[in-house]
Amino acid sequence: MIGTLPDLDATGLLALATEAVHARRQAEVRDLEVLAQWTAVHSSDPTEGPDGATARRLGNVLVQVGGDGTPGVQDFCLGEIALARGTGVMASRHALADVLDLQHRLPLTWAVCRRGECEPWVARRIAELSRHLGADRVGLVDSAMSRMIATESAGRVLEVAEAKVIEADPDLHDERSEAERRRRFVHLGRTDELGLRMLIARLDAGDAAAVEATVRRVAEVVEPLHPEAHPDELRALAVAWLARPAELMTLLLEHTAAPDGELDPELDPEPDPEPFLPRALAFPADLLDALREIDLTPLAPKGVLHVHLHEAALHGRDGVARVEGLGPVTFGRLAGLLARVDLRIQPVKDLSDRVRHTAYEHPESLRDQVHLVTGGDYWPYATSTSRNVDLDHPTPFDHGDGREPPPDQTGSHNSGPLGRRHHRWKTHAGYRSRQCGEGRYVWLTPHGLGFLVDHTGTHRIHPEKARMILEAPAGVDIYLG
């Protein structure tokens, strides 16, 4: 009991710590077991039987979320279990894949996990690492991991797991390695609470070396401007210059000499007195002269920045701005984002206006307003704040007699953004929703879970209250206290 903690001595606290960890592990296992049983209840193929053609057309098919040898699960059932758990759909889908792999492909490791002798997240990570293996190969991983997962640190367990996955099917590992070599990418991570993001790139070795040379040179040039910056920070500042080609070109043209007159012996074993750039950044003299005469401003990048400010900001008070794609920033940081740009300000939208439209389609002006009000996907517990979503009619659109639909069905009063998967489930899988105010939506799931989604997040509400709101006559405002 928490109330007895101050009365415990060191020995008692140690015993309680062990007990608490074991209880937490058992609770996590229970959560996974519930997910697995949900799959068992929804493992029949909905495309078989008299309604099979309809199920197939609507997309309610068996999907295999786990590895080879795991049972399938009906696609339409994934959303409701995620809502019951208070998570996004993908988080529950990943957990479901892990527990199915543990039960059906890694039973020895799962047995250790069920006894509370290891961390469930480590067992889940082993399941993820080995998911691509065939059912006839994964046993090697299971046997090795079950013998050490309870007695070794997580780092050592996962290191051995990676090796065992390779050992289980070396040819498959070689194929996957070769495929990965053909996959180049640049990935931009999410903005953190301090306004910083991770930029990760996978390039050909030669291209990476050229980028490295440019970054190193720019860092050397801008170092006097940032005397307090450490080397890693200087390199980050240099990478930022790559996004501004006009300014970068100007900077390099103004600093065509290597720092401190350093020469490149590879280019000229008997250098001239005039220093010059290393090979990666070298320009012919005539090209340098020509570039200095060119107006480089057209090279500046163009983009749209959506900035959300509280009314208090207009009166000069301290505050925080929210920038779509970047997250919350201070006014000082916002000023830095807008510096050195050709700034054009679009009119501010009055989100209190009710926009209506006579057709089924949502015009761009309405789409923009709905996004600004809702801030993203209105599915309960949804994580997406992207503008790249479907626009849904929470109360289904009535096409009328086919010639002239009833008026005013599309508008800010009956519009909500939904990701494609959530939109399909809402349309075909028995979910009901209704908009009950600007940016406020009520949901009722097929098995009677009620939710309210508004600007403060997702809230569980009594199913009868949700049903009352959904069944209220059109035009009747419902108070949600």
Looking at residue 279, its pLDDT comes to 45
| Residue 5 or 462, more confident | 462
Q: Does the pLDDT at position 69 exceed 70?
A: yes
C-alpha to C-alpha distance for 335 and 309, rounded to whole angstroms: 13
Which segment, 160-174, 378-392, 395-409, is predicted with the most confidence on average? 160-174
Name the range with the highest mean pLDDT among 91-105, 157-171, 260-274, 341-355.
Answer: 91-105
Residue 394: pLDDT band with limits 50, 70, 90: confident
Same domain? For 223 and 126 the reply is no
Query: Assign residue 260 a region: left if phi > 0, alpha if psi is -120 to 50, beta otherwise?
Result: left
Structural domain boundaries, residue 249: 199-298
- pLDDT, position 115: 95
Q: What share of the chain is helix, strand, coil (3-state, %, to 5)?
A: 45, 10, 45
d(CA 344, CA 357): 29
- Indicate the average pLDDT of the chain: 81
Going by pLDDT thresholds of 50, 70 and 90, the confidence category of residue 267 is very low
**Domain for residue 165, yes or no?**
yes
Does residue 126 share a domain with residue 24? yes
Name the pTM for this structure: 0.66
Domain match, 316 and 286 both: no
Q: Quick one: pLDDT band at residue 260, thresholds 50, 70, 90?
A: very low
DSSP calls for 403-431: SSPPSS-EETTS-EEE-HHHHHHHHHSS-
Determine, yes or no, domain membership for 412. Answer: yes
CA distance 80 to 445: 7
Each residue of 420-444: pLDDT tens digit? 999 999 988 899 999 888 889 999 9
Q: Please tell me whether residues 28 and 124 are part of one structural domain.
A: yes
Within a domain: 51: yes
Q: What is the pLDDT of residue 280?
A: 44
Torsion on CA atoms 364, 367, 373, 376, rounded to nearest 10: -130
Predicted confidence (pLDDT) per residue in 304-324, tens digit: 777 777 666 666 656 667 777
Q: Are residues 214 and 155 in the same domain?
A: no
Best CA proximity match to 82, nearest among 16, 34, 46: 34
Average pLDDT of the segment spanning 126-151: 95
Q: Is residue 108 part of a domain?
A: yes
**Radius of gyration from C-alpha coordinates of the chain:** 29
Instruction: Kindly state whether residues 132 and 30 are assigned to the same domain.
Output: yes
Query: What's the CA gap between 24 and 202, in Å, rounded?
Result: 39
Both 416 and 456 in a single domain?
Answer: yes
Answer yes or no: do 99 and 14 share one domain: yes
Q: Are residues 29 and 74 in the same domain?
A: yes
DSSP string, 1-34: -GGGGGG--HHHHHHHHHHHHHHHHHHHHHHHHH
pLDDT for res 303: 63
Mean pLDDT to the nearest integer, 17-23: 93
Q: Which two tokens stand for residue 200?
A: 């990760």
- On whether residue 192 sits in a domain, the answer given is no
pLDDT the model gives residue 287: 61
Question: Residue 89: is its pLDDT beyond 60?
Answer: yes
Does 54 map to a domain?
A: yes
pLDDT of residue 277: 45
What sections of 105-244 are H helices per DSSP?
Answer: 107-114, 120-129, 139-146, 154-168, 170-181, 205-222, 231-241
What pLDDT is stored for residue 1 in this prediction? 44
Q: d(Cα 354, Cα 193) in Å, to the nearest integer?
A: 33
Check pLDDT > 80 for residue 336.
no
Using the 3D structure, point to which of 298, 313, 329 is the last residue of a domain.
Answer: 298
CA distances 325 to 188, 236, 279, 306, Å, are 10, 19, 37, 9
Identify the residue whose tokens are 């007895």.
4
Query: Which of 279, 314, 348 corresponds to the end of one domain?
Result: 348
Give yes or no: residues 162 and 230 share one domain: no
The β-bridge partners of 410 are 357
Strand partners, 62: 74
Number of compact structural domains in the chain? 4
Exposure string for 312-331, b = 16+ CB within 10 A, e = fewer: ebeeeeeeebbbbebbebee
Task: Give residue-wise pLDDT tens across range 182-197.
Answer: 788 888 888 887 778 8
Residue 449: DSSP 8-state: -
407 and 267, same domain (yes or no): no
Average pLDDT estimate for 40-47 = 91
Same domain, 173 and 98: yes
